[in-house]
Each structure stands twice: as structure tokens, then as C-alpha cells.
Amino acid sequence: MPKGKKKVKVVDWAADENFSKERSIFYVEHTTECPIFQMKAEECGAFFKQRIPEREFQLVRNKNGKEAPREGAFEIGFSQNARTSVHELWSGLTRGPPRRDKFPEDYENLVPDVQRVLKKFYPDKVVGLTDDEEDEN
């Protein structure tokens, strides 16, 4: 193995030993042609961990390296947990140039969609919504 390259351990979040229904998954497919795509993926995961701290989130990039990303891709999917279906939150595939159009302008705009998915599975636990926000949805 070349020096400096460390092997990344791939975790199967749906496997019994790793699964938790309290852990939601963000799936980001991003091209590797430019480092900004990787940075934006990490930024997305960090935003939601801070924005909804009462929920556990896991970021899975490019299916843990098992799938080559499409050229120019920046796609964000979300699932309630590792065993539920993935809901597309953002697609930058057909956007741009310029490159900045590939990414959501503000991750805050994705929060209502994430909360809708969470609420579908746990209607009694409305995650991060105030009463006013809940009335709007």
C-alpha cells in the first residue's frame, strides 16, 4: 500500500451490530474532480449535526467508496435510518456552471424536508420544530 494512504474502514450501518433506529443517514454522491465537492459533503453533515443535535446523523459519501460518482454530481439523499428508503433532498447534477450552482445555497432550506421524513416515522417526536413551524408544514 502506498505510504500516506490509509485504509478507510467501511461500516455497514444496516447490519445488526451497527444498526440504530436513532441514527439517520445522509447519503451524498459527489464527484471527486474537485476538492470543493468533498468539502461541501462534510459541511452538509456538520450542519445537520449542529442544527438538530437531538438526532444522531451519519454521513455516507459515494456509498462508502463502493460506487464511482457521476461526473459533476452533488446529490443529497436522506433516510430515517439505514434500513428505510432514501429521499432525495437535493440534486445538483443538472445545475451549473458555475460550479457554485451545484450546491444548495443554504442547508437550512433542506431542514423542512428532513423534518418531514423524521416526522413520518416518529409523529410523536417532532424533531426541532417549533409550534409555528409545525403549523406551516
What domain count does the chain have? Answer: 1
Q: What would the 3-class secondary structure string for 22-57 be?
A: CEEEEEEEECCCCHHHHHHHHHHHHHHHHHCCCCEE
Q: What is the CATH number of the domain that holds 81?
A: 3.40.30.10
Residue 1 in this model has a pLDDT that exceeds 60: no
Contact 76, 26 (CB under 8 A): yes
For the segment 58-72, what is each residue's pLDDT rounded down to a tens digit?
999 998 888 889 988
Alpha-carbon dihedral of residues 50, 52, 57, 63, nearest 10 degrees? -80
Within a domain: residue 2? no
Which of 74, 72, 16 has its CA nearest to residue 43?
A: 74
What residue numbers bound the domain in which 31 lies? 23-136
Helices (H), the chain: 35-51, 111-121, 131-136
**Mean pLDDT on 111-129:** 75
pLDDT reported for residue 96: 85
pLDDT reported for residue 7: 54
- In angstroms, the CA 31 to CA 44 distance is 15
Within a domain: residue 121? yes
The DSSP bridge pattern shows strands 74-79 and 87-91 to be antiparallel
Within a domain: residue 16? no
For the segment 76-118, what is each residue's pLDDT rounded down to a tens digit?
999 999 999 999 999 999 998 899 999 999 999 999 999 999 9
Within a domain: residue 12? no
Within a domain: residue 5? no
Within a domain: residue 11? no
What is the pTM for the complete model shown? Answer: 0.81
